[in-house]
Structure 1
Amino acid sequence: MLSEREIHYLAMNLVGKELEKEGFEFLSVNSKLKKNPQFVCLREKKLHFVLVRAILHPNDPNDYDVVFMQTMKEHAEKFEAKMYYAGVGLVNANDKTRPLVNGEPYIIDYNGLKEIV
């Protein structure tokens, strides 16, 4: 069974690859659980904070804690940064009722970065 940390790393890896592909330059990467934001990036001379969450089935990766996200947005604004949420849904591909297991396939539900405005 994958640990909470390994699941978090899966989500961060996916989001990190997308950020690279979209031309973001990493200034800081924080992979520790419960430390936010996970990515501090620069793109087009603008600072961006990205909060990554691994969300296990049956929870919706598009849902987030609005109050907490507002707190993070206020933190980002102190640095004149944009704030993004990246929810990555994960589920065991063989059986949605089973946990994620190393070596078994999984399904990703990821709809990209959501800017918090």
Structure 2
Amino acid sequence: MASLRVHPDRLEIHLTTAEKTLALRREDIVVPRENIRSVTITDDPWIWIRGIRSPGMGLPLVVAVGIWKFHGGKDFLAIKRKRQAVVIDLIDDEFSRVILTTNHAPNLIASLKLGG
């Protein structure tokens, strides 16, 4: 499961080696805080998926890791099973949306508001 680190100026999403391999990605994701439009907690991250996988790995309701392209942009997903997740909507960034399963969703939202 990806680890999230909130800094005063950015959000760092550190992917595990397995997630990087499945997503065909070498680097972690760094998002400037001013690019974060909203963060939502969801108990069903699967309903938030849009577009088609390219590149990445997806097995419905089991795992979705990688980039999903849709008309107008692309999203990054790191979803495992039907667990609580955060949906991070972005502006002026590499991705339009990042969806991650995490055990620390409420803490993430609280941390993002503190520096805010």
TM normalised by structure 1 equals 0.29
TM normalised by structure 2 equals 0.29
Which structure shows the bigger proportion of residues in strand conformation? Answer: 2
